Structure 1
Amino acid sequence: MQLGVVLWSILASVSNAGRRLRLAGMLLLPGLVVADNSPPLRVMTDFWPPFRIAGEGGQLRGLDMDLLAELERRTGLRFDVQRAPWSRGLAALKRGSADLMTGLARTPERERYIDFLERPYFTCAPRFYSLPALAHKVSGYSQLGQYDIGFVRGSAYFEPFDSDQDLRKVGVGNEGQLLDMLRYKRLPLVIGTDCQVDYELLRDPTLAGRIVKLAYRPPARTELFLGFTRQRPLQAQRQAIAQALEQMIDEGWVLDAARRYSPRAQ
């Protein structure tokens, strides 16, 4: 089974000649020359499997960690990854006490303090989840107002949901809490991102068939970006990372790395 409902349209191939030219240009970037003498870029993140998974000893692993390691190899830059609740990481980026975050959904409000790379590296979709008895009773957005809906504080899903003040939203700290509250019937509905929630449902056989998608499917998709703080001058590092990441997408590196985290492959 594929990893969620993932849209791979961003992974279009380019010619070998074009890739060689971009790589040659990347090697000449000033940021690469000074990388060894510069402090590491501070990356704030939180658990969000399969992108950021809790490993042994509290170490993070997952697609985003692999991506950062490959960016280190290709650019010569270094990253200091620190975990905090997602909303706290966004606040650090806004203040300038963090340099970078991965897995960011792009919104007009966030663009005021985050300098997003132009190209997303992954695409998912927002979906609502419930227990089976309710799944087919909610077939349109207008019906959501009848229920309490769990969501992760600081997350961006889709409009009009994000700004809808009439909905009965219940904020929690992370997606794991959402699924637990749904499983134990403390919430009737939750919203999540399919490539993350579907991973959890496939990985845990006790949830198979117990938590399902609503019939209503939002007409939206969630593109994931890397983004830098606007509070610090990081243009050389940004350019190096942008060029390396674009090459990784075009080569199919991101797609291949994502396949390693399919529950069927683990």
Structure 2
Amino acid sequence: MKFIKLALLLFFIPGLSMAAEKIFNADFRNRPPQMVVDGDKFSGPLKDILEEASSKIGYTVKWRKAPFKRSLEGLKNGSVDIVPRYRKTPDREVFTNYLGPIGYQERNVKFVVLKSNKDIIKTYDDLKKYKVGVKRGTSYFKQFTDDKSIAKVETSDDEQIVKMLRGKRFEVAIIIDEGAFEHSAKKEGFTDWAYAPYEFVRRLPNYYGMSKTSPNAGEYDALNAAIKGMATSGRVKEIYMQYNVEPPVQ
């Protein structure tokens, strides 16, 4: 009897509750300005949006820095709940629910070359003449993704793209995130590069990917409603403006 009373007392004392904390495990990678890694510090509008939406349904977010390939594996096996800045593709829909989108962004898919090769890519067909560096697991645009006549060389991240372009392992690299590439080039002290004249423009929905197999998969509907509510109310725009970053259009 004394044990039961003690257990009840401990349960109701603030800070000693036996109720488990509800946590989403989310992955983070450096994609300035929407996601910024500075040593062991993470910041950016996509971080703040997810944390605020999660808090609305009683969750906190535990962040881990990880390359995108590892994040994909985590979503597949359920060890990762959520990955920000996530593209919708048919193969990912097997193991992913999509949160949002929080809006849309028109983005120029660019091609980077050495300065001495600045004009080698003037049309799409020019890509078929050279080796093209791509990031493993990244979705670009359908024509490029499906084109088997282009020699594609896989890399793990923007830093490897910089090193391999400088080392002439390929003549061209495809870039969907200028900020991330330019950050890596600056970090590596690489200035002998230029954007090619040819670009491809696409309208991209900005999703978070949520695992269908994680222990928290059942929270998808509630979290998705919270995120969409933030988008339609203008809260997403407010958070972006706090960082002086152009918000996605609705």
TM-score by length of 1: 0.71
1:173 corresponds to which residue?
A: 156
1:41 corresponds to which residue?
A: 24
2:7 corresponds to which residue?
A: none
**Contact kept? 1:48, 1:175, Cα under 8 Å:** no
Identity among equivalent positions (%) equals 24
1:36-185 alignment, distance < 5 Å = 37-56=20-39, 58-125=40-107, 126-183=109-166, 185=168
- 1: CA distance, partners of 2:97 / 2:132: 31
**Contact kept? 1:44, 1:83, Cα under 8 Å:** yes
Please state how far the C-alpha of 1:49 moved relative to its aligned partner: 2.2
2:12 corresponds to which residue?
A: none
Please state how far the C-alpha of 1:225 moved relative to its aligned partner: 0.7
Please state how far the C-alpha of 1:71 moved relative to its aligned partner: 2.2
- 1: CA distance, partners of 2:243 / 2:164: 25
Please state how far the C-alpha of 1:185 moved relative to its aligned partner: 4.8
Which structure has more RCO (C-alpha within 8 Å, separation ≥ 6)? Answer: 1
**Contact kept? 2:31, 2:180, Cα under 8 Å:** no
**Contact kept? 2:105, 2:204, Cα under 8 Å:** yes
Give 5+ residue unaligned stretches, structure 1: 1-35
- 2: CA distance, partners of 1:86 / 1:232: 17
Give 5+ residue unaligned stretches, structure 2: 1-18, 246-250
CA shift digits 1:44-90 (9 cap, x unpaired): 2322222332224x232223222223223433211121222211110
Please state how far the C-alpha of 1:234 moved relative to its aligned partner: 4.2
**Contact kept? 1:147, 1:188, Cα under 8 Å:** yes
Q: Do the aligned partners of residues 124 and 44 (structure 1) sit closer, same or farther apart at CA in structure 2, a change above 3 Å counting?
A: farther
Please state how far the C-alpha of 1:114 moved relative to its aligned partner: 0.7
Residue identity opposite 2:87 in structure 1? A
CA shift digits 1:87-140 (9 cap, x unpaired): 111011111221111110111111111111352445252322223443433222
1:188 aligns with 2:139: no
**Contact kept? 1:105, 1:224, Cα under 8 Å:** yes
1:9 corresponds to which residue?
A: none
- 2: CA distance, partners of 1:188 / 1:86: 24
Residue identity opposite 2:69 in structure 1? S
1:213 pairs with one of 192, 195, 210 = 195
**Contact kept? 2:50, 2:227, Cα under 8 Å:** no
Residue identity opposite 2:208 in structure 1? L
Residue identity opposite 2:111 in structure 1? F
Q: Do the aligned partners of residues 71 and 195 (structure 1) sit closer, same or farther apart at CA in structure 2, a change above 3 Å counting?
A: farther
- 2: CA distance, partners of 1:247 / 1:63: 16
- 2: CA distance, partners of 1:238 / 1:198: 32
Please state how far the C-alpha of 1:40 moved relative to its aligned partner: 0.8
CA shift digits 1:151-194 (9 cap, x unpaired): 21111111122233332222122123223443565542111214
Q: Quick check: which one's strand share is greater?
A: 2
Q: Do the aligned partners of residues 260 and 124 (structure 1) sit closer, same or farther apart at CA in structure 2, a change above 3 Å counting?
A: farther
1:224 pairs with one of 194, 203, 206 = 206
Residue identity opposite 1:103 in structure 2? R
